[in-house]
Chain A
Amino acid sequence: MRLSDCIPGKKAKVIDLMVNPTYKKRILDLGMLPGTEVQIVRKAPFGGPIVVQLRGYQVSIRMTEAKNIEIESVS
């Protein structure tokens, strides 16, 4: 499952980040590592950026990247 498919409010765990190296460095620095618990807070219509909550704060990323972030849902 990809982060882009996640329903707002549901919790998930990051499995793999299949994004370009520069982006990966940055998102890892911001604390989104494999194993980190994330939650989509809100999605914009027409494929606008999504807001993701992790480690107690919120960050906005684009759908293009969210589509390349592999997750598994956590009950």
Chain B
Amino acid sequence: MNKSLALVGNPNAGKTSLFNILTGTRQYVGNWPGVTVEKKEGLIKKLPEYVLVDLPGIYSLSAQSLEEQLAVTYLLKESPHTLINIVDASNLERNLYLSVQLLEMGLPSVICLNMMDIAKDRGLQIDIPALAKILGAVVVPMVARKANGHDKLIDLLREGVQNATLTVPYPTEVEAAIRDLDTLLASSPWNFRTSRRWLALMWLEGNETVEEILRHQLPAELIQQMEAVRAAYPAAIEHRIRNARYDFIEKIICEVTQQSQNPAGRTWSDRIDSLLLHPVLGIPIFLGFMYLIFQITFSWIGTSLSDQLDEWISGPLTDWLKAGLTAMSSPDWFTQLMTDGVLAGVGSVLVFLPQIGILFFCLSFLEDSGYMARAAVLMDRFMSMIGLNGKAFIPLILGFGCNVPAIMATRTLEDPKSRLITALISPFMSCSARLSVYSLFVAAFFKHGGAAVVFTLYVTGIVVAILTAFLLKKFVHAEEGTFLLEIPPYRAPMLKSLFLHTWDKAKGFVRKAGTIIFGMSVLIWFLGHFSWHGFAPIEHSWLAAIGGLIAPLFAPLGFATWQAGVSLVTGFLAKEVVVSTMSIVYGAGDDGKLGDLLHHTFTQPVALAFLFFVLLYTPCVSTVVMMWRETGSSKWTLISVGYSVAIAWVVAFVVYHISQLIF
């Protein structure tokens, strides 16, 4: 068994950077036991006997959101071999609060003092040996973003780290209570790895996670005695403990730091904020950014790259494949299956890889730069109108990338009911898979103003999400939860981490093309070439029969063709499949482009109605499964599926009739 190293720290302290540097590509993502929150683990090349676990960012050990509870529960239950506590040197005072709590646990601990460069730029000098002496732990200065200082950390870990021995002085009556509890705990049969003093403190503070574990481990009689100790002290004892900790930290700051410049001056981050968080301009700028992202993804870079890829796939690649198959003297039907089925299906989806990559790149940029927190502030007022918290806005934005991580990200919210509402409305955020359908239709029908059409689709998704939240508010009484959000200074995102993130998502997309879309392409090709009477032309195939069965449903929306029906059904597996299905059913193999073929059955109003339907109808099967797992409710999942089909139908109907008047 590998020994575990837990990477702990405040949000925005640079945990991810350090994790990436230490593990490189030797990282893997699992799930925390019982829940779907991602658990990132990795191996360090130079320390083969260890496994590094990246914990969710926390400000203190008193956890409230689910992610925080996971981090704290992990520290307590799994009892990691060594704690690596990453501390933002430019925000030392608040970061040390968690460090002090962690050091009080008494586990082997190292402190990584990150962002030394920023601290230095702000004129902050830190006496590292003095800090290490007061804290009783090794302190490693580093600049994780620039891969600076982690070698020393690895050396230290290899040599082995001592148990932390920090003792914070508390007021006399707190100390008396700690002593009483310590005596009780010492008599317990349970063997603690953490210090008893720390357990006593957490008990007095009323730390729910620790309390739950103690109640589980200790005899009821002992718990009663411990409760009596706590009850004997005034209720505010938890606040006195917090006060004492911050007093201790203030003293440390006084002793080990020196501020050479006048810190009162406005930082450049503040200057940017006075524009981006401007009372009037803030929201228009935010919308502007969103529009800019669509322009980049869509008009400026993404589409031309996609076109080139498309030409290569439908040109040289198809020819090579055909030549290769002929050389191997493969039967005709197999050649057809490979070119008109697999290559047309998978290829038509793969061409959107550049656009999806660029979209994820832009979203990662917003997140890593610190702008996402500002977006939450800007939108809080608005979100509170629909009974949600500004923080719920971040999962929604992630939904533009993919709805699955969006639903997962609702775990950062404290109130379970806000989590439910946010999870239920996030599928209306138009994900990047739907983008492939938009790209196809916009290129075919809206040569001019394509970006505007797509933008309207995205906005419609948001509006429907809002209206749905309004509606849900009537049935689910959610508390807004606490809106308390750190506004980190802006940081230039690290190119390497942007690419790592984008690569990760692109890989997922390619994998989907290789598995689900490949399988569907083969299946659709067979369904499209056979009927009960054997080999049949596509109009008389099973596929046409299935499509024709549901097509009448879409007659009022203008697209009552079996081709559209089939693509919408298969689109439930993954929205990209809508495109690959169309590519196969319209026979867009080597001759002619799919976009041109669409003109036979679609007009501009019909295309618009179809796009709105694709935007809103039931998200893909992965999203539905994720929703079911996260909400833990089959009822809500089914409601969501039914509701989204209904709303998609209504909206597409309205769009079809209005746009007929316009075009």
Contacts and interface: CB of A to CB of B under 8 A. Distances in A.
Given A25-B62, A30-B94, A61-B483, A44 B243 contact: no
Interface string B369-389: 000010011101100100000
B244 to A, nearest CB: 10
A64 to B, nearest CB: 9
Given A33-B243, A42-B277, A44-B279, A49 B483 contact: yes
A34 B483 CA distance: 20
Given A22-B64, A59-B486, 10 more contacts: A26-B62, A29-B59, A31-B94, A33-B242, A45-B279, A55-B93, A56-B91, A58-B487, A59-B487, A60-B484
B242 A28 contact: yes
B370 to A, nearest CB: 11
Question: Chain A contact residues (Cβ within 8 angstroms of B): what range?
Answer: 20 to 34
Nearest to B98: A29
A41 B264 CA distance: 12
Contacts of B376: 60
A10 interface: no
B273 A42 contact: yes
Contact of A62 (B238, B239, B483): B483
B368 to A, nearest CB: 18
B390 A49 contact: yes
Interface of B is mostly: helix
A6 interface: no
Contacts of A27: 484
A23 B479 CA distance: 13
Given A42-B277, A44-B377, A29 B483 contact: no
Interface in A38-75: 41-49, 51, 55-62, 65
Contacts of B471: none
B499 interface: no
B274 interface: yes
- Report the 5 A-B pairs with minimum CB-CB distance, sorted nearest first: A29-B60, A48-B381, A58-B487, A55-B93, A45-B279
Contacts of B242: 28-29, 33
A24 B482 CA distance: 10
Nearest to B279: A45
A41 B270 contact: yes
A59 B377 contact: no
B484 A59 contact: yes
A49 B377 contact: yes
B62 A29 contact: yes
Contacts of B91: 55-57
A41 to B, nearest CB: 7
A65 B485 CA distance: 13
Given A45-B280, A48-B377, A49-B381, A26 B246 contact: no
B170 interface: no
B316 interface: no
A26 B64 contact: yes
B263 interface: yes
B97 interface: yes
B68 to A, nearest CB: 10
Interface of B: 59-60, 62, 64, 90-94, 97, 238-239, 242-243, 246, 263, 270, 273-274, 277, 279-280, 282, 373, 376-378, 380-381, 384, 390, 482-488
Nearest to A35: B243
Nearest to A31: B94
Among A26, A31, A44, max chain B CB count under 10 A is at A31
A31 to B, nearest CB: 5
A57 B487 CA distance: 8
Contacts of B97: 29, 31
A51 B62 contact: no
Contacts of B239: 24, 28, 33
Nearest to B259: A56
B482 A26 contact: yes
B94 A57 contact: yes
Nearest to B483: A62
Contacts of B243: 33-34
A30 B279 contact: no
B381 A46 contact: yes
A32 to B, nearest CB: 9
Contacts of B381: 44, 46-49
A57 B486 CA distance: 8
16 contacts: A22-B64, A24-B239, A27-B484, A28-B239, A28-B242, A31-B94, A31-B246, A33-B242, A33-B243, A41-B270, A44-B277, A45-B280, A56-B91, A57-B486, A60-B380, A60-B485
A51 B279 CA distance: 12
A43 to B, nearest CB: 8
Interface string A3-36: 0000000000000000000111111111101101
A45 B282 CA distance: 11
A51 B482 contact: no
Given A28-B242, A58-B486, A60-B483, A51 B277 contact: yes
Contacts of A59: 484-487
Contact of B380 (A29, A36, A45, A48): A48
Among B280, B390, B487, max chain A CB count under 10 A is at B487
Contacts of B384: 62
Contacts of B277: 42, 44, 51
A43 B377 CA distance: 11
Contacts of B484: 23, 26-27, 30, 59-61, 65
Contacts of A60: 373, 376-377, 380, 483-487
A39 to B, nearest CB: 9
A41 B384 CA distance: 22
Contacts of A24: 239
B423 to A, nearest CB: 22
Among A27, A29, A61, max chain B CB count under 10 A is at A29
